[in-house]
Chains A and B, each alone.
Chain A
Amino acid sequence: MIIYPAIDLMSDSAVRLRQGDPGRRIAVGDDPVALARRWAAEGARWLHLVDLDGAMAGAPRHLDLVRRICGAVSIPVQVGGGLRTVADLRAIFEAGAARAILGTAAVAGDLLPEAIAQFGDGIAVALDARGDLVAIEGWQQTSAVPVLEAARSMAKAGVARFIYTDVSRDGMLAGPNLAGLASLIAEVPVPVILSGGIATPDDLRAAAAAGAEGAVVGRALYDGRIRLDEALRAVTGAS
């Protein structure tokens, strides 16, 4: 299983939010480029970057920063936040992203077929859940769409990979929603990356045992509950 250290970008610095609420942010460092270098140097094989300002605004806000981060590390980077158009996707790949994460746009708009046709495996869809329903608009709203139904139809449309987050767990260190993860993995024939709530190496082992392809780890890395080398040892293997 792949560990994705998460770096969330807001106002040019790196932050962690609790439950995606911009009013409940925790600064984790002023220099996201230095953070990215740190995780890469400690052995990460991928990074997970979210443009939080972009997610709120519905358009990328930190392309230059993404470019600097991707250029600064010798590992691939997946990037999400505010990607709503093919032009946004082009821009993010041009900035050096190895994979683009679609959220709201994929669920609510008509971008998905075009994105898959043009970028194929380079696209991952963030399935942000609040309970059994899909959360949208930078997690500030909940749609009426059941998560598993959305996943089924998007997998049929050719989505190569999902990143599953239970919004109510994110940044709370309360443990991931493993039941939600397991039902999603059972539902779709494509890889699923778990995100949100991972607090201990045991959470990572449980995610790996459930069949997750990867796990995004944020706050637990920043407050030292999980050490990256420990996490990497806990879940060996790669894809």
Chain B
Amino acid sequence: MRIALIDYGAGNLRSAGRALQEAGGSPVVVTDPAGLRGADAIVVPGVGAFAPAMARLAAARLVEPLRDAARSGVPLVGICLGMQLLFEDSEEGEPAPGLSLLAGRVVRLPAGVKIPHMGWNTLEVRTPDAIFDGLPEAPYVYFVHSYVVAPVDPRAVLAETVYGSRFPAVVRQGTVWGLQFHPEKSSRIGAVLLRNLLAQIAALRSPA
């Protein structure tokens, strides 16, 4: 499966690429719209701040092509900041529109907990889904973030995590997925999630 791994300067590109490869995918680093052609799936990794990330996607002329690809049904997965970019806008820094593939915005974690949230926390599954196949009860995954998503449609939330507040850890709407944690740094649990995700995507693209 050819996976367009979007390179817009995010720090976790290498490890995300390795993890996708280990999950059975063939990630190809993509820096321009031409790179999206022929992709079976798109992964937007992410470490950093919302507005600069959107600015870098815009500078690479990737914003509209990413929207078009996702809307035409190419499976798209956002990781951490990449998940947040799927939404309409963010409280973080300068106002900037996101990719707006999912309705809702990105809000800061509440005061009273240490921010950024860096560490291992458990996933609480809200909506049973094949992405969770084979996981133990309350699996631990690794987070690094200061902001969380607030989707308009609660049905988009597949799993949540509690840190300061209860927030979405896995979202899905159609063929757009978002993971707030870093599966590429979440050890075996992360590997299982990515394998399940790629299997789902493969099944979508070649219906039995």
Contact = CB atoms under 8 A, between A and B. Distances in A.
B15 A74 contact: yes
A141 interface: no
Nearest to B144: A98
Contacts of A70: 15
B15 A121 contact: no
B14 A238 contact: no
B21 to A, nearest CB: 11
Given A43-B188, A45-B140, A238-B140, A71 B14 contact: yes
Contacts of B18: 71-72, 74
Nearest to B17: A71
A188 B64 CA distance: 51
Contacts of B187: 40, 43-45, 74-75
A76 interface: yes
Contacts of A121: 114-116, 118
A131 interface: no
Nearest to A121: B118
B190 interface: yes
A122 B15 CA distance: 18
A197 interface: no
Nearest to A68: B14
A29 interface: no
B147 interface: no
A71 B15 contact: yes
B19 interface: yes
Given A94-B11, A96-B15, A160-B114, A74 B120 contact: no
A138 B188 CA distance: 35
A76 B120 CA distance: 10
Contacts of B115: 121
B191 interface: yes
Contacts of B56: none
A71 B121 CA distance: 22
B184 interface: yes
A239 B11 contact: no
Contacts of B15: 70-71, 74, 96
Given A43-B188, A96-B15, A75 B116 contact: no
A96 B140 contact: no
B186 interface: yes
Interface in B89-132: 114-116, 118-121
A113 interface: no
Given A121-B114, A122-B118, A96 B14 contact: yes
B67 interface: no
A208 to B, nearest CB: 16
Contacts of B119: 238-239
8 smallest CB-CB distances across A and B, nearest first, come from A238-B120, A71-B14, A75-B187, A238-B140, A76-B185, A121-B118, A239-B119, A74-B187
Given A76-B142, A98-B185, 15 more contacts: A43-B187, A44-B187, A45-B140, A70-B15, A71-B15, A72-B18, A74-B18, A74-B184, A74-B191, A96-B11, A96-B15, A121-B115, A121-B116, A121-B118, A239-B119
